[in-house]
Amino acid sequence: MKEAIHVGLLGLGTVGCGVYRMIHEHQEELFHRIGLPIQVEKILIRDIHKDRKIIMPDDLLTTDPEDIVNNPNIDVVIEVMGGMEETKELILRALRRRKHVITANKDLLALYSGELLSVASEYGCDLFYEASVGGGIPVLRSVVDGLSSDRIFKMMGIVNGTTNFILTKMTKEKISFEQALADAQALGFAEADPTSDIEGLDAARKMVILSTLGFSMKVSLEDLFIKGISTITPEDIDYADHFGYVIKLIGIARRDHGRVEISVEPAFISKDHPLASVNNEFNAIYIYGEGIGETMLYGPGAGQLPTATAVVSDLVAVAKNMRLGVTGKSALIPYNKKQLKNDEEIFAKYFLRLLVKDEAGSFAKLSTLFAEKNISFEKLSQQPLKGKGMAEVVIITHQTTRKAFQSVLSQLRDMQMVYEIKSGYRVEGE
């Protein structure tokens, strides 16, 4: 009978410090949940001399990963160091030495979750990664356990706090994207290089993980339609408000008759939808199931303690499995064949804003083009721009296919009467 659960920690950054603090300060609560104490055995760091904002015994620290992955005393390895190839190899080596692994590394999981889960299953180890999507929101555990008896057919949500903060600032303070991004960077919500966030890549990696679990179908980043928020303007924000919407960067995963579509893109969300009221750095996932109907999970999508809470919750789950002798039994290997919808099978409403010549017949030509593609108008606004010989036309379509909408955009670019396509967005949440 083990006397304690021994943990090795790969990384001591913001999240790593939060994990150590939580384990150290919550010993009594953890003991009552597990029945054993949890002890941090070793912590991998890059610089042994770095001044840290957390007090711990010096003999816990090491710069050699072998002190963790080859340490016979360590039962569970927690990876919060980030990175890809080197980190992947460390996790694989830990699993092959029959150490259970907990990670918050969404980038790694989006690419290699299949391989990692297969190795974990082969060696009878648990591999948990709740913190990789939604920070402190228990969304993965809800999908895997809480909704395990249901058949999920759609997941839609805000899974990136940086972009949600930026769009909230633009909406509430009527400022430009560039100013909102600068404010987010000044407050620490955006990195110095914000590309991964603002171009939708961070959210896309999370949607890969969520879709793989929710649909039990191994999808990859290449399967997603991805569009970021850097081209959103205050005028777009104003038009959204005028028509009863807000703009959010939304991850959408939908399954119909075994075929799936997954995207990350800015979308007009109806103000009546719960996601419309999710502001600042918060995340929310809206799940549609055949049994439960609709439910939403909401909370902080990042931060030291919210993310550490998800990591330590995984640690509790691993420890319970160890005591019950059922480790390595919970890995969900995707069993459904991947079947992706083509653009003719993906339906949505769309918002479109463009500048056209303000002359007789312009609108008739637009109407004819849309009619040829079987796209009808739900809402329409046409406003002449005085002294410029142009009119701004704003359209919200009825449901149409992505193929038809993209075809219209392509033909509009070739029409002499069209000066510029200002913006186009999906419309959701009605």
| Residue 370: partners with Cβ closer than 8 Å, 6 or more residues away | 376, 377, 395, 397, 408
Q: What's the chain's Rg over C-alpha atoms?
A: 24
End-to-end CA distance of the chain: 56
Q: Determine which one of 169, 206, 218, 349 is catalytic.
A: 206
Q: Which single residue is written with the structure tokens 């991964």? A: 196
Q: Which of 178, 158, 159, 177 is nearest to 167 (CA)?
A: 177
Cα–Cα distances in angstroms (integers) from residue 405 to residues 58, 349, 382, in the given order = 61, 9, 20
DSSP letter string, 238-300: HHHHHTTEEEEEEEEEEEETTEEEEEEEEEEEETTSGGGG--TTEEEEEEEETTTEEEEEEEE
Q: How far apart, in whole angstroms, are the C-alpha atoms of residue 256 and residue 154?
A: 9
The three-class DSSP label of residue 313 is helix
Instruction: Give kind and range of the element (H or E) at residue 40.
Output: strand 38-44
Q: Which amino acid appears at position 361 of this protein?
A: G
- Is the distance from CB of 10 to CB of 78 less than 8 angstroms? yes
Q: How far apart, in whole angstroms, are the C-alpha atoms of residue 243 and residue 352?
A: 12
Q: Which single residue is written with the structure tokens 């297969």? A: 118
Q: How many CB atoms lie within 10 A of CB 11?
A: 22
206 is catalytic: yes
- Positions annotated as catalytic residues are 206
